[in-house]
Every structure is written in structure tokens, then in C-alpha cells.
A and B are shown apart, each in its own frame.
Chain A
Amino acid sequence: MAGDSGRGTPGRPAAAVRVGAADGHTGGPRTVPLGMAVLLLGAAVAIAVDVRGYRDGAGGEPGPAAIPILVALLCAVAAIALVFQTLRSTALPGQSAPSVLPVRVIATVAALTAAGLLLQQIGFFVTFTGLAFAAGLLAGARRWWTSLGGAVVITWVVMIFFGRLFAVPLPAAPIDVFLGG
């Protein structure tokens, strides 16, 4: 298990690769497919590293390593095929296509990540009011106060609906308790 410390889970490199693609170029037509190829290769390598310690299958079954190895091979093949397909395809006119990563999308992703990290710390109500407010502005709201008002109302309704009716134990800070969550 020495070699896998930096690799993360199969899902994580996805985000890393994406964000990496994001800061350099604004998502050119080739960046993302090539990033996807890297992701697949990363998955293949992660599986190859991980299966080394697996136990053998008992009584004639192929064991826990067999299918992952097959999947890793397919990933590697698909990654190579994708690289070829992407490099061979004629470059798009490019200029007219809208950017895949405008500032708004990046900001929304940041807001989502922040909400996920803060949820446990500052409770449901503040986190989600903030998220809804930010998302409303990023999606083109013109008047910030209606957006904020809307965010407060919807967060409260969702909190009551999930917390009370469905007994979902939402992460609560004192303000959530005060508001009935």
C-alpha cells in the first residue's frame, strides 16, 4: 500500500484533472477528452496497484482481482483509443463556441464545494441559504435582495420539510434549532 498514497479514489482524480484543465485553458475542444484519457489511465494504474494485495478466490471462483484487472485493461485500451480519436479529429473553428468554463460555472463549483465543507461546521440553514443565494446570483438574478429573500425562504421550507416531515437529522447549528429544524 506504499504507492497509492497520492492517488486518491477513482472519483477524486476526476475533480483534480478537471480543475487542472480549468485554470490553464478555458476548456478547449481537446483538453477535456485528453483529460478523460488521463483519468482512465489513472484508474487503470490505481487498480493495478490495488490488486497486488488481494486474496485468491476460494474454490474455483476467479477471485476479487480478476474483474478489476479486466476493467483496468479496458480502461487503458479506451484511453489510447480516445487519445487517437481526439488528436485525429479536425480542430474545431473554436472561436465561436461558447466557453465550457466561464467564471460563473467555476464560481458555482466553488460554492458547492464550500457548502459541502461548511455544512458540518456552521449548520444547515446558513450554509444552504448562502449556497442558494450564490447560485441565484450566478444564474443571472438581477436584484440581489430578491435572491437573498428567496434563498432564506426556500432553505427554511426545505429544512422543515426534510427535518420535520422526513426526520432527516440535518446538521444543525443553534440557529437551525431556533428556526425549528
Chain B
Amino acid sequence: MEIFSSLLGGFGTLFSSPHLIAAIAGAVVAGMVVGALPGLTATMAMALFLPFTFLMEPATGLAVLMGVFAGGIAGGSVPAILLNVPGTPASAATLLDGYPMTRKGRAGEALSMAMFASAVGGLVSALLMSVLAPVIARFALNFQAPEFFVLAIYGLTIIAAVAGKSLLKGYIAGLIGLVVGIVGLDPIAGQLRLTFGSQALYGGISLIPVLIGVFGITQALVMVRESSGVTERPRISGRTFVSADDLRSSSGTLVRGSLIGSGIGAIPGTGTDIGAFLSYSEARRRPKGRIPFGEGNPQGVAASESANNAVVGGSMIPTFTLGIPGEAGTAVLLGGLLIHGLMPGPDLFTGSQSSLVYTIFASFIVANVMILLLGTLAARLFVHVVRVPNQVLVPVILMFCMVGSYAINNRIADVYVTVVFGILGYFMVTHEFPVSPLVLGLILGPMAETNFRRAMTITHGDWTIFFTRPASLVFWALIVLSLVYVWRSARQRRVQEPAESEDSPEAVRPT
């Protein structure tokens, strides 16, 4: 139990210097603000901040980077829940149940559930990271091109879970995502595809402008439409914290979400968005509680938010032990480590620098506690956003969407992408085409294709590699289970509600 004494030592360092605690608090708040704004990501804030860590004490600099990272992912849930606009791709699954909760006057509960779940996910992943990092990192190395392919295919089966009323329309949305994912330079053979000579499309159509379009712009257009008719504003219930009952019934979901997120995070090359969607679809499979998923079930929020913050902790595992950053955020963090002369590797946990590493872990744990404290406090303030009238909200949403999509890469082409997909999203949403599958298709399509072809290159065309490796087999089994589940629930639906096909117009919203 040397690890725990090391960790305690880390806490000792942390609590003996109040400025460190203050720095983490400031970083969490900054991260949450950045995460809540579509287009600004935690990665961007970390990269901007990185040069300043050159000048700081290593512990302070790295604690701040961790705080921004964790806060950014948690902050993305705030606009997702209140406005149906995810602040970061990580929260794209949160709005599936978070926004319906807001429509039902339960915004305060949804927000506090999101913060609570984020903190739980972060803490579970932090503990796993401090205790088992080297073991998990070894295990995650079994995850290679064949597994990435099968994981992506499994992820695509989630479309059925988020499709809503019509499976066909869900798959069509997913297909649009796949087509969009083809555009650009093919990463295996270097072939330009579907660019039609436009240099702006060489790099492909990136996720975040599409995400801002189909959720943000679409939502603003839906709100404009509402204001032509009679509007009923969602009320805010008296409750500002999630009920003990909901917490109790979500405990299983929270634990599963945290574990799924940590696992996904430990595999370099996945990300917070994939972790959240996997956890959400897993939670859906065990329906519990009175409210169905997709109509404001607090467990949907718990599943997504616990998983996406757990991915953050999990992604530190390969970064610290193997020097392999899983995605952009951890790549910046790795830069921060290297700048302070910390070489990733197993020695990091035992060598002369280990006290610093455990201070970093302790700061990550403290950052997650801060998310719970500051987040629920801020939630009391944020819920009032739903009282703000449309004539104020619509301009603000549009403004942040347009600026946000420009700010990702500082280019106007991304703004056009956002507008085009916003209009497409509006027509989809008003005709019961869900937009989440489009996002899933865009995330997972390129991942599936690239890894399929990469594996085929290595094996010289021998496709048996997809069925002979143990980790792939596990995912094939999950795919089969998932398809059986889709088939069964589709049959049930057909038996249950042949008459109930019409829906009320105000149920219209991006899902």
C-alpha cells in the first residue's frame, strides 16, 4: 500500500500550499467556462496556457493543466442540458436526456446530476490511475488496429439506441455522417476523396463545426419557429439538487459509466465522446426508473457525464506510463510533463520524481471535488438561463455558435460548414430524423475505415485478424448482443404502439 502513502504525500504537498488549491480552483472555473462555450475546447485552453507553465513550479503548472482539462469536460454539459447545445463533443450524449429534463422543469436536478456524475467519474478514474496505471497500460496495448475497427463497428450499433422513433431515419442520419466522414485526404493511400477540387475540403469536414451546426444552429432555428406560435416556457421546479432516490437508482449506472470511461480512456486513440456514447447505450440496456431513456431520465445524464470525465483520468494512464497521449488534451499534458523534465514511463511512479507525480494525481482528485462543489453552486445560478426569453437566447446562441466554429481553426470555411449543417439539422429534427447518429457516423466512420485498412495492410489482406484476437472477439460478442437487443426492442415497439405514431409538435428537438 505504498501507493496510498505516496498519494497521501501528494495531498500533503497540495494542502500545505494554499496557492496550489487556489490555482486548481481557478483552473477548474476557467475550464468550465471554456468547455461551456461551443468551439472553445479544453485542449485549446490548455495549449494557450502551456507556455506559462514553463515559468511555474512543476506541481502548480501541471495541476492547473489537469484542472482546466477536467473542468472543460464537465463544463460542456451545462449548455447541453440547458440549451440542447453541447459545449464539447464529450457532452453530445448528455443532452439526450439532459435537455428533456430541462423541458420538464428539472434543469437544476439535471445539472447537479451532471456535476455529481463528472466528479464520480473523475474520482474513480483517478483512483484507478494511481493504483493500477502500469497494469492497465499493458493491457490497453492489446488494443490495436483490428480492435479499433471492431470497437467502431460496435459504436455504430449504438445508432439504434439513439435513433428515437424510426430506426430507418436513425440509420439514414448515420449514413449522412459516414458520407461526410469520407470527404478529404484518405489517411491510408493519400487519395483525395469527394473534395471536387476544393482545397478547403482536403482536410475533411471536421467534427466540431458539424456538431455546433446540427445542435446549436438547429436549436436556435427551432426556437425561432417556436416564437412564431404560442410558446410555453419550461418552469423550474423548486428542486435544485438531484434527489436521493435518483442518486440511489443511478449508482450502478455511475459506477459502470466510470469504469467504461476509464477503460476507453486508457486506450489511446479513442476519446471522451466515444466513452460517453458507449456508456449511454450500456445504461439504456438496463432500463430502470419511471422515465424512459430519451425523455428525461437522470440516468442518461449520469451515464454520459460519469464516462466522459472518467475518460480524462483514464487517458492519463498511457500518457504517464508509456508516453502515448490518447488525444489532443493529453498530448498537451505530455508536453507539460516533458517541459518539467518528467520522462513518462514506469519509472515515473517509483523514481526520484514520483512525489511530483502523486502531487499531480492528488490535484486531479481535488479538481474533481472542486467540480462537484463549484459546479453545483454554479448550477443554482445557471438554471435561470431557462427563464431567459427566446429573443435574448437566440441571438446569444447564434453568436456563440458562429464565433465558436470560427475559433476552432480561425477559418471562415468552418463557419459555412456550421451554417449548412445547422439548416440540414433543422429539417432533420422537424421531421423526426435524429441528429446524434450523424455525429456518431462522423466520429466512428473514419475510425472504422482507417483501422480496417491499416490492419489489412499489416496482414497483407488477411481478414482473419479481425476474428482471432481476444479483445476483438469480446467486441464481436457485444455487437451481436447489441443487434439482438435492437431487434427485440423493435419487435416490442411494433406490438405495443401501432396507434401511437403521431407525436406532438413541441416534442421536436435534436436528439
Contacts and interface: CB of A to CB of B under 8 A. Distances in A.
Whether chain B is bound by chain A comes out as yes
Interface residues of B, number: 82
A8 B461 CA distance: 34
Contact of A60 (B48, B176, B416, B456): B456
Contacts of B238: none
A166 B430 contact: no
Interface in B210-236: 217, 220-221, 223-225, 227-229, 231
Contacts of B393: 139
A104 interface: yes
B196 A104 contact: no
A175 interface: no
A116 B392 CA distance: 21
A119 B420 contact: no
Contact of B457 (A61, A116, A119, A136): A61
A143 B492 CA distance: 52
Interface string A1-24: 100110111111011001001000
B412 A139 contact: no
Given A132-B399, A169-B410, A75 B179 contact: yes
B interface secondary structure, majority: helix
A109 B423 CA distance: 7
B2 interface: no
Given A60-B457, A85-B168, A98-B229, A75 B175 contact: yes
Contact of A62 (B169, B412, B456): B456
A7 B196 contact: yes
A109 B221 contact: yes
A15 B423 contact: yes
Contact of B412 (A5, A68, A78, A119): A119
B425 to A, nearest CB: 10
Q: How large is the interface on A (under 10, 10 to 19, 20 to 34, 35 or more residues)?
A: 35 or more
A23 to B, nearest CB: 14
A139 B395 contact: yes
B402 A131 contact: yes
A59 B459 CA distance: 9
Contact of B221 (A59, A62, A105): A105
Given A59-B460, A168-B407, 19 more contacts: A10-B179, A10-B194, A15-B420, A40-B175, A40-B176, A61-B189, A67-B449, A74-B175, A82-B168, A85-B168, A100-B431, A112-B217, A112-B419, A135-B398, A136-B395, A138-B394, A139-B224, A139-B391, A167-B48
Interface of A: 1, 4-5, 7-12, 14-15, 18, 21, 27, 29, 32-33, 35-36, 39-40, 43, 46-47, 50-51, 54-55, 57-64, 67-68, 71, 74-75, 78, 81-82, 85, 92, 97-98, 100, 102-105, 108-109, 112-113, 115-116, 119-120, 128, 131-133, 135-142, 147, 150-151, 154-155, 158, 162, 166-171
21 contacts: A8-B196, A11-B205, A14-B421, A32-B430, A57-B189, A57-B453, A60-B460, A60-B462, A61-B454, A64-B186, A75-B175, A82-B169, A85-B168, A98-B225, A98-B228, A104-B224, A116-B415, A131-B399, A136-B395, A139-B391, A166-B407
